[in-house]
Amino acid sequence: MLAEPLRFADIRRTSAFRLTAMLGATFAAGIVLLTGTIYLLTARELTDRSDRILADLAGRMLAVAPQALPARVRLETERAGSGLNYYGLLGSDGEPVAGMLRMPPSLRYDQPADIEDAGHGIGPIRLLAKRTDRGETLLVGRDITQIRDLRVRMLGILVWSGVAIAIGVGATAIGLSLGPLRRVRDLQAASRAIAEGHLERRMPLAGRHDELDQFADTVNAMVEDVGRTIAQVKGVTDAIAHDLRTPLTRVRANLHRIAQDDALAPDHRARLTQAVDDLDTVLERFAALLRISELEAGSRRAGFAAVDLGAIAASVADLYEPLAEDSGITLSFDCDPLPLHGDEKLLFEAVSNLVDNAIKFGRAGGHVRITTGGDAARWHLDVADDGPGIAADEREAVLRRFHRGSNAASAPGSGLGLSVVSAILGAHGLRLDLRDAQPGLIARITPAE
């Protein structure tokens, strides 16, 4: 069996990947929360400190005599060469008296606020406005670039650590998933081989005694049991076949020999011949039942090869064309190649049975068509007649009944024809559908779900 390549979609669905991704996401959320909290607390502390300093600076300015205040504001503005503190004094009419600061419209008295642009290229700053006894406005500002830098730095840390965590978690998740996924693939390959009838195959063990090993061990024990049971059933079937058929051969031969006796009364001979015929019917059904059970046991799958169902159907059409013509039925064939893994002789038998039925139960002077359709995944091969067909509810019953094999007494022939067909198709992972051809019946071979 060819190993299918590992796709990311398969890796993504593994428990290891999901668990690692989930743990990674939780870790990343923790990091965000932690970094965010540190930033918020630090920013608040720095702002509180700025506000205290601003209140202190404003208090000191307001303690200055009102007449000297403009000169003091100018002096402090000149002093504050470091660019850390800023001052401004506005008259009661709002016009600037001293300093570089102006009153932003959003600012309220006694409530310090962050101002992005306070004019003259100043900002961002924390700004406090105070009203003097003379109705003037004193503005005191303090640079907050430091706090802003802190925020940018914190964001940077968050983004880069996020990327690093995502890469780390992704790589770890993939690394942790690959091993188990490869093992699951090996287990799948082994289970497919077992399902195909290789009951001697076992699930591979890694020797780690982990959950996969435990599972494989359980399945192996089960396969061992199934193999033993099948071997026992096969042994019993063979024994039944041998022990019943050998004496039946003698009975049949004896009856046949007695029937050949010239001294025999004609009606006795007729009854003997009837007995031989009845015995043959019993034996045919017996053989059909044995075949069905053998096919359902799946032991033949080990001997499958590449075949073309379309070509098989063509050979069947060739074989049955004279019979159709003799029955006044036109047999038409239009099939595409249908490559399958299967047994040519068994599939030939299955298609033959369907074509034989279609001719037998079709309309005299009618048409039997063997066609293919659908696409590569959902193809179908139809054998359709235009005879009386079977009513919808009866169609299901026919299939069900055949499944149970309880129709053996009522149907003509061995009475197990469709059961053999179903068993053959089942062994190939195919199934039989009966549909309405309006008029007539379509027997459709299609891949099982």
Contacts with other proteins by CB under 8 A lie at 238, 241-242, 244-254, 256-257, 279-280, 283-284, 287, 290-291, 294, 299-300, 303, 318-320, 322-323, 325-326, 343, 345-346, 348-349, 352, 356, 413
Give least dist CB 26 to other proteins, A: 58
**Which positions ≥6 away from 43 have C-beta within 8 Å?**
147, 150, 151
Whole-angstrom distance, CA of residue 176 vs CA of residue 171: 8
Give least dist CB 358 to other proteins, A: 13
Contact 298, 428 (CB under 8 A): no
Whole-angstrom distance, CA of residue 401 vs CA of residue 407: 6
Query: For the chain, first and last CA: distance in Å?
Result: 21
Whole-angstrom distance, CA of residue 147 vs CA of residue 125: 10
Contact 271, 255 (CB under 8 A): no
Give least dist CB 360 to other proteins, A: 9
**Nearest CB to other proteins, comparing residues 82 and 246:** 246
Give least dist CB 321 to other proteins, A: 9
Contact 340, 428 (CB under 8 A): yes
Give least dist CB 349 to other proteins, A: 5
The one-character DSSP state at 99 is: E
Contact 359, 443 (CB under 8 A): no
Give least dist CB 241 to other proteins, A: 4
Helices (H), 362-391: none
**Nearest CB to other proteins, comparing residues 15 and 260:** 260
Q: Which residues pair with 334 in a beta bridge?
A: 371
Whole-angstrom distance, CA of residue 140 vs CA of residue 155: 29
Give least dist CB 376 to other proteins, A: 28
Q: What are phi and psi of 433, to 5 degrees?
A: -120, 140
Question: Three-state SS for 184?
Answer: helix
Question: Three-state SS for 236?
Answer: helix
**Nearest CB to other proteins, comparing residues 244 and 391:** 244
**Nearest CB to other proteins, comparing residues 80 and 354:** 354
Tokens of 38: 């540190």
Q: What is the DSSP string of 254-274?
A: HHHHHHT-TTS-HHHHHHHHH
Give least dist CB 436 to other proteins, A: 26
Tokens of 161: 């650590």
| 299 closest CA partner among 214, 245, 226 | 226
Whole-angstrom distance, CA of residue 159 vs CA of residue 150: 14
CA 188, 189, 195, 198: dihedral to nearest 10 degrees? Answer: -140
**Nearest CB to other proteins, comparing residues 203 and 292:** 292
**Which positions ≥6 away from 188 have C-beta within 8 Å?**
none
The one-character DSSP state at 371 is: E
